Structure 1
Amino acid sequence: MRREELDSKAQSLYEHLSDLRKCLINCVWILLIATGICYGFSEKIFDFVREPIRPYLPGGGLIYTGPLDKFIAHLKLSFVCGILLSCPFWLYQVWKFIAPGLYAKERKYTMGFIFSGTGLFVLGAAFSYWIALPMAFQFLMTYGGEVDKPMISIDQYMGFFTQMCLMFGVAFELPLVIVVLGMMGIVSQSFLRKNRRYAIMTIATIAAIITPPDLLSMVMMLAPMWVLFEAAVLIVGIFEKKREDAYAVNERE
């Protein structure tokens, strides 16, 4: 391989790493600003977050044993809400990083990528809050009878709550990731259909890991992810058809 080709590849790699660095730095600043905004409303947000478990607490509130526990819990909550609030902005940074690998006609889907990514992430968090968490607490807080009374600490609850919301939010981004991979030519509709069983097994494994240890919660996680996967397969096929039609038109010209 000639020296000029090696220098060109090294320069291309350096440019990609530089773009990735800029993307990560911008995302960090966006999250910090959004976290600071959410911290100003952390008291009201915490009341909202406490609601799924409140019916199962003897006094209606959580407990804490360390002087910093409540403060740290509010910081964690502000960070998670900051991720949700700033979702369109850091998704735009991600799009700017992957857009150079797409065709010129596919780069026009910037707003679609941002809105769909934001909607899916928020939908996953909302699914966790209104469906998965109430079902989990119904199982966990009533398991073994009503003689024993729960005393849940703020730290334990916030760790459980934030993990569930973030995991569900990220999991619901699955169709967007598949569609982008399809737009980049990495996966095809035929490939996805051929490996559907492996995809479902992977989804089931993810659902078993991120949900509480009961079958109903796992099924409630698996069902929407399966539906989203099938929707992504259809969308990938639509983009492939458009690409083939555009290629055929160029060939005739």
Structure 2
Amino acid sequence: MSVEETQPLISHLLELRDRLLRSIVVVAIIFLGLVYFANDIYSFVASPLLSVLPNGTTMIATNIATPFFTPIKLTAVVAIFLAVPFLLHQIWAFVAPALYQDEKRLVYPLLISSTLLFYLGVAFAYYVVFPLVFAFLTKTAPEGVAIATDISSYLDFVLALFLAFGICFEVPVAIILLCWADITTPKALRKKRPYIIVGAFFVGMLLTPPDAISQTLLAIPMWLLFEVGVILAGFYRSKEKDDDEHNQKNEDDIIK
């Protein structure tokens, strides 16, 4: 590799390092601003379960250090969640120079919409899914079984659901990107609608607890977001593709 070829590579690596450091600093600043309220943040996240626990029962900690480290862990995750817009902006700024102008016009609104959809998925899980699921699970406990959930196990459980719903709410963005890359088309996706619906319920079965309520509450929004993505995908067409189709049509007309 020549000196001329290594210089751009080194400059890209340096820029990547700088953006990673900026991202870490921003997450650390948000974390330091929230760590004082770590216990309050955990209480807020735990309230959907605490509100439906039987009278006289509480959550427990099975390890000595768990009451300290579990809220800290949650606060770190919240700091990353809150820093998502900045993190996505750093990714966008790093790859933007390599994109065409029409691709830049596509990526910027997708970054905003993907962030909003992720937050919407997390909010949907907290305000809709958790109350229904926890009420169902606590009421189905066998007679004589005391419910005492470990705070660390609860945190792992809700973080997995937050991530599952946040990612699944990105369906419209994924469909737009697939259509933009010519991997599929809105017309082809409409023909596969029955398989998509079955797949949504299958994904809901894999990513949620083994109860019909949470599976359905994940599958139905995924299906609806699929329909939204198919509609929006028809509007995201690059200028080059439109020109290619126009030129191909003119060539066909000339041949005829």
% identical aligned pairs: 33
Question: Residues 155 and 200 from structure 1, CA distance in 2 versus in 1: closer, same or farther, beyond 3 angstroms?
Answer: same
Whether the 8 Å CA contact 2:38–2:75 is kept in 1: the answer is: yes
- The equivalent position to 1:220 in structure 2, one of 217, 222, 229, is 217
Name the SS of the counterpart of 1:239 in structure 2.
coil
Q: Is 1:156 equivalent to 2:171 in the alignment?
A: no
Match of 1:122 in 2: 119
After the TM superposition, which of the residue ranges 211-220 and 49-58 deviates more from structure 2? 49-58
Comparing 103-112 with 64-73, greater Cα deviation is found at 103-112
Structure with max Cα Rg: 2
Q: In the aligned structure 2, how far is the partner of 1:30 from the partner of 1:191?
A: 42
TM-superposed CA distance for 1:219, in Å, is 0.9
* 3-state SS of paired residue (1:220): helix
Residue type of the partner of 1:240? R
> What is the rounded CA distance, in whole Å, between the counterparts of 1:45 and 1:161 in structure 2?
13
Per the TM alignment, residue 111 of structure 1 is displaced from its structure 2 partner at its CA by 4.5
Code of the aligned partner of 1:120: L
Answering whether residue 184 of structure 2 is matched by residue 208 of structure 1, we say: no
Q: Distance in 1 between matches of 2:120 and 2:238?
A: 29
Aligned to 2:48, what secondary structure does the other structure show?
coil
* Residue of 70, 73, 91 corresponding to 2:70: 73
Shifted more, 214-223 versus 92-101: the winner is: 92-101
In the other structure, the counterpart of 1:230 is 227
**What's the TM-score once normalised by structure 1's chain length?**
0.79
- The whole-number CA distance in structure 1 between the counterparts of 2:14 and 2:247 is 35
Mapped partners of 1:180, 1:16: distance in 2 = 25
Stretches of structure 2 that go unaligned for 5 or more consecutive residues are: 251-256
1:50 aligns with one of 28, 46, 70: 46
Report the Cα offset of residue 246 of structure 1: 5.7
Mapped to 2, the partners of 1:219 and 1:173 lie a distance apart of: 17
In 2: Cα distance, 1:91 partner to 1:136 partner? 32
The amino acid across from 1:36 in the alignment is L
Corresponding position of 1:41? 37
The CA distance in 1 between the partners of 2:7 and 2:116, in whole Å, is: 37
- Equivalent residue letter for 1:222: A
Please state whether the residue corresponding to 1:47 is helix, strand or coil. Answer: helix
Please report the TM-score for the alignment, with normalisation by the length of structure 2: 0.78
Query: How many residues were matched structurally?
Result: 247
RMSD: 3.5
